[in-house]
Amino acid sequence: LNSKARSTDGTFDIIIRSSDGVHGSVSNTARVVFMGFNNATVDNSILIRLQSDGVKSFLTNHYLSFLRIANSQLAGLGTGVLLYGVFELNNQTFLVAAVKRGHGQYVSPSGVATFFQ
């Protein structure tokens, strides 16, 4: 999934309809929640090293629970965790994250790092 530059948040519902010609048609709905980011996001981000079996394992097994737990614990600091990067390097998995407040403000990287320690 790729996106053009976007400065505002948005939620998009995608309906996928398919048929193999043998069985009845199938429809699935996917919701994409997009949080806008810019240079201030990058400036206020931290790098988190995970103990995970890789990006695929994290996204499949832990991503949603990670966001739920982090957002509930950080509710007093900001509006939510903005997780905008995940990658593997030398058999380690890393996340790039920031905590966004209202009106384009962010929690300082040191404040976010303290929470995740």
The pLDDT value given to residue 5: 62
30-47 b/e (C-beta count within 10 Å ≥ 16 → b): eeeeebebeeebeebbbe
Q: Does an H or E element contain 41, and which?
A: helix 39-43
The pLDDT value given to residue 26: 94
Q: Where are the domains of the chain?
A: 37-116
The pLDDT value given to residue 10: 85
Express as a percent the part of the chain with pLDDT over 70: 93
DSSP-assigned letter for residue 18:
E
pLDDT in tens, 70-90: 888 877 766 788 888 899 999
The pLDDT value given to residue 105: 87
